[in-house]
Amino acid sequence: MRRAPGLAALGLAALWIQGALAGLVPGFVFPDLVFLGVVGVAIAVGGAEGLLVAAAVGYAMDFLTSALLGQHALLLVGAYAATRVASLRLNLLRPVPRVVFVAVLSLIYDLGFVGVGRLFTEVPLDVEWIFVRRLLVHALLNVLFAPVVVAIVQRASAVLAGEDEPGRRSLRVEPRERVL
Amino acid sequence: MRDLLDRLRIPLVFSAIVVLTLATMVTDRRALRAGGRDHGMLASVVLDVTAPVQRVLTAPANFAVDLWGRYMALLAVRNENDRLREQVARLEEENLQFREALVQSGYLDQIAAMRSEYETPMLPAQVVGQDASAWFRSVLLDRGRTHGVGSGMPVVTDRGVAGLVTDTSGRASRAMLITDRQSSMDGIVQRSRALGIVRGLRDGRLEFEFAVRGSDVRVGDVMITSGLGGAYPKGLRIGEVLEVGEPGDLLQTAVVKPAVDFGRLEGVFVMLWRAPTMDLLYAEEGGVLRKESRGRR
């Protein structure tokens, strides 16, 4: 039962790292570690446990940013669900499907973020070239960092679940009809 | 029945979370619109835990940036020094002339009385973390309620206005910067007194929206707070007009460069003051603070 709190703590650590680095570089030229972490949780953990981790980290992010309370939580849970659905058709542990999926999901996630913000606030939705360029740079960085973050989440998940005994490799067999 | 519940467990949890997030967003939006946003105890705990960790994580990064900044500054220091000496001499002369004029007109005593009435205590605070999201602009400060900081208090630097405290915990607080897309404040052009609303743009600059009729806004004009918006006191420097857009039917916009360098925001001052509107909105936050701030005014 320590896996979910452990992964949520890892998400909080990712938030802290992002917060510290945001003072050095603009947020869009740094990968979204929390988003990638949630994708990793969807691949490595799944189930209601993973959903709760995504929601908890999302709310923590809402507390530490100017976002509306629930905005990150909603989109991270959406990203989690999308990853679970995609993993039914694609093997997201393989490089090519993962690159395509993370790039598309990253764009949808960022656009969704701005769109949800527009729905609930008076912030205008001005899609300028600078905005599109930032979305693309952010997506590219997310794609580049996805293998590392997913591997860290997988490893942490295995350690926290007590599956890291030497010489033992876990075999993941999942029924295809499970959606989330 | 149990099988059905097991199969529905994940969709049910998912739906419950989606409903919860939508409900909290609506509630938070209402609170934000009313100006009285407060995330409660859980947010306080997250802020309290985060502030010391962020301070440790940010320290090496700040050190590197500071070292580089000092080196670069050293290269230009001689020219800067000469220019500043010249400027100080000119300003001293100007100051002398203004004082003389004020004494002659008898306004000095009135201004001194006003100054003591309006003088606001400032609390120095360190920026220990920036907004973790790529789409928002806020900072985490290492001063909280125990130091007298409350939501709705302006955050300034020696250059001008930086933002507004939006969340507080015991030992930390979070301030939304004026460059955030959700931030808006009333501003005035110092030269022509043209009045309008200043909003954050996505690229770290500001947008000044003003009425076309009767407004005179030019490139290079200095913008200050008007004191009308109910959040900031009058006269804080906002920035300088960079571009003036084409006039519309009723409204026109100008791009403003913030006076504060948000890329190097390390030390700030929290004004231990709240506008009357903010005082009413955050009334539940602390009675002592309210009494003190009322006393000052």
d(CA B36, CA A129): 35
Q: Tell me what pLDDT residue A105 has.
A: 94
Q: Tell me what pLDDT residue B184 has.
A: 86
* Test the B interface: residue of A65, A84, A109, A141 with most B CBs within 10 Å: A65
- Please report whether residue B133 resides in a domain: yes
- Please report whether residue B286 resides in a domain: no
- Please report whether residue B201 resides in a domain: yes
- Please report whether residue A176 resides in a domain: no
Domain count, chain B: 1
For chain A, the straight-line distance linking the first and the last C-alpha, in angstroms and rounded, comes to: 20
d(CA B63, CA B175): 23
- Please report whether residue A106 resides in a domain: yes
Nearest to A42 by CA among A4, A5, A1, A87: A87
Q: Which domain holds residue B138?
A: 41-84+122-281
- Chain A CA closest to residue B60: A20
pTM, full prediction? 0.69
Tokens matching residue B287: 């009675």
Q: Which of A4-8, A78-82, A162-166, B92-96 has the lowest mean pLDDT?
A: A162-166
- Please report whether residue A129 resides in a domain: yes
- Please report whether residue B206 resides in a domain: yes
The identity of residue B129, as a single letter, is G
- Please report whether residue A173 resides in a domain: no
Mean pLDDT of A5-23: 86
Selecting from B22, B57, B131 the residue whose C-beta is nearest the C-beta of A74 gives B22
Q: Tell me what pLDDT residue B215 has.
A: 79
- Please report whether residue B107 resides in a domain: no
CATH of residue A108's domain is: 1.10.1760
How many DSSP H helices and E strands does chain B contain?
5, 12
Q: Tell me what pLDDT residue A146 has.
A: 92
Q: Tell me what pLDDT residue B249 has.
A: 76
Tokens matching residue B90: 């000119």
* Residues of chain A positioned with their CB less than 8 A from the CB of B32: 68, 121
* Test the A interface: residue of B10, B139, B167, B205 with most A CBs within 10 Å: B10
Quote the strand ranges of chain B, DSSP E. 122-130, 138-141, 154-156, 161-168, 173-177, 184-189, 195-200, 206-211, 222-225, 237-244, 251-258, 267-271
Nearest to B133 by CA among A160, A109, A100: A109
Q: Tell me what pLDDT residue A89 has.
A: 86
Does residue B226 contact residue B187 with C-beta atoms inside 8 Å? yes
Q: Which domain holds residue A119?
A: 3-160
For chain B, the straight-line distance linking the first and the last C-alpha, in angstroms and rounded, comes to: 66
Cα dihedral sign, B87-B89-B92-B98: negative
Tokens matching residue A72: 């990150």
CATH of residue B266's domain is: 2.40.10.340
Domain count, chain A: 1
d(CA B137, CA B204): 9
Nearest to B201 by CA among B177, B234, B165: B177
B151 or A140, which is more confident? A140
Does residue B274 contact residue B230 with C-beta atoms inside 8 Å? no
d(CA A156, CA A164): 9
- Please report whether residue B66 resides in a domain: yes
Q: Tell me what pLDDT residue B282 has.
A: 64
Q: Among the ranges A132-146, A151-165, B54-68, which has the highest mean pLDDT value?
A: A132-146
* Residues of chain A positioned with their CB less than 8 A from the CB of B20: 55, 70, 73
Q: Among the ranges A25-29, A68-72, B75-79, B278-282, which has the highest mean pLDDT value?
A: A68-72
- Check A64 against B50: CB less than 8 A apart: yes
Q: Tell me what pLDDT residue A153 has.
A: 92
- Please report whether residue B23 resides in a domain: no
Per-residue pLDDT of chain B (297 residues; tens, 9 = 90+): 677 777 788 888 899 999 999 998 888 887 776 665 666 677 778 888 888 888 887 777 777 777 877 777 777 787 788 788 878 877 877 777 777 676 666 655 655 555 555 567 888 898 888 887 877 888 999 898 899 898 889 999 888 899 999 888 888 999 999 998 888 889 999 888 889 999 988 778 899 998 877 778 889 999 999 888 778 888 888 999 999 888 877 888 899 999 998 877 888 889 888 877 666 666 555 443 443 343 333
Q: Tell me what pLDDT residue B286 has.
A: 47
By percentage, how much of chain A surpasses pLDDT 70? 86
A51 or B35, which is more confident? A51
> What contacts B91, CB < 8 A, 6 or more positions away?
none
Per-residue pLDDT tens digits for A74-85: 999 999 999 999
